[in-house]
A = this chain, B = another copy of it.
Amino acid sequence: MSAEKEKHLIRPYGDRMDDGVIQLSFVLPVACSEQAKEAAATVAKKLGLSHVLVSAMEQAGENYSFFVVYGRTHMQLDYNAIEVPEVLHRKHGFDELNEAVRRDLGRRIVVVGACIGTDSHTTGIDAIMNMKGFAGDYGLERYPMFRAVNLGSQVEPSSLVARAKAEGADAILVSKVVTQRDVHKEDARALIESAKEQGIFEKTIFLFGGPRVDHKTALELGFDAGFGPGTRPSDVANYIYYRLLERMGRAPPPQKTAHGTPDATVPATGEKLGETL
């Protein structure tokens, strides 16, 4: 479909439109010298930059030099060709959503969540699930029409799944904050695996969240959706509601709404809704 769209070419902008200015900084494992400076310039040139200016060369340890470099790239991007899986639903307010759940589902939604693996960063999952919520936006516990079970941190993937099964959860909320050498992906995969083993994969909604999580990655890992920094509990509540409707074959057509407004983006649910775009 992007074929139809006419092109919208963009370039980085520094001083004048389309000048392509980019700032770089990096360390090279050599001491400061004219040669080191030339090496830094070479790095920038090899990245395809012209007008390369090594604005700083600093001795960052006996055998290390820190560089700040400016240069210009000649690349052009067709902005219209860039696609991100993103679907916009009109977002319900707190009361409105509870009312909608009561009306459309006629029962409380059950969600079980945790920060899994050896990760003990609870603030993220707490922000979504606990009463208090995040940035003045109430947490799921506060929603009359949600039953939210937060298992806290350092929970084994399998035990999270087991508990969700026991609670008959509609959705499993997984948080990962530590990402060193992709440990968050490992743990996420492990969770999906054991959900399959324990036979609740099909009937459960899987949400993945964390500062380094985005919707795309979450989809790749087999989740229904991913939520990154700044997510509000109401985004999550709305998402789960719509997702459940959808599973009941009653998803409303998503409506475009401005990004970042109170009618905030609710991440896409991959393929199915993708088509309704």
Q: Which residue numbers of A lie inside 8 Å of B, CB to CB?
A: 10-14, 17, 21-30, 32-35, 37-39, 42-43, 46-48, 53, 64, 73, 75, 77, 79, 82-84, 86, 212, 215, 259-260, 265
Contact = CB atoms under 8 A, between A and B. Distances in A.
Contact of A79 (B23, B35, B48, B215): B35
A82 B35 contact: yes
B73 A35 contact: no
Contacts of A212: 53
A38 B259 contact: no
A212 B55 CA distance: 9
A73 B86 contact: no
Contacts of A12: 26-28, 43
Given A24-B24, A212-B53, A77 B39 contact: yes
A10 B29 contact: yes
A42 B84 CA distance: 12
Q: 3 tightest CB-CB pairs across the interface, nearest first?
A: A12-B26, A34-B84, A22-B26
Nearest to A182: B51
Contact of A10 (B25, B28, B73, B215): B28
A77 B40 CA distance: 10
Given A10-B28, A33-B259, A34-B86, A75 B53 contact: no
Given A32-B260, A43-B12, A84 B26 contact: no
Nearest to A18: B29
Nearest to A51: B182
A23 B22 contact: no
Contacts of A77: 39, 42-43, 46
A208 to B, nearest CB: 16
Q: Select the residue from A10, A12, A42, A212 with max chain B CB neighbours within 10 A.
A: A12
A240 B100 CA distance: 85
A75 B27 CA distance: 14
Contacts of A42: 77, 82
Given A32-B260, A47-B48, A265-B34, A10 B24 contact: no
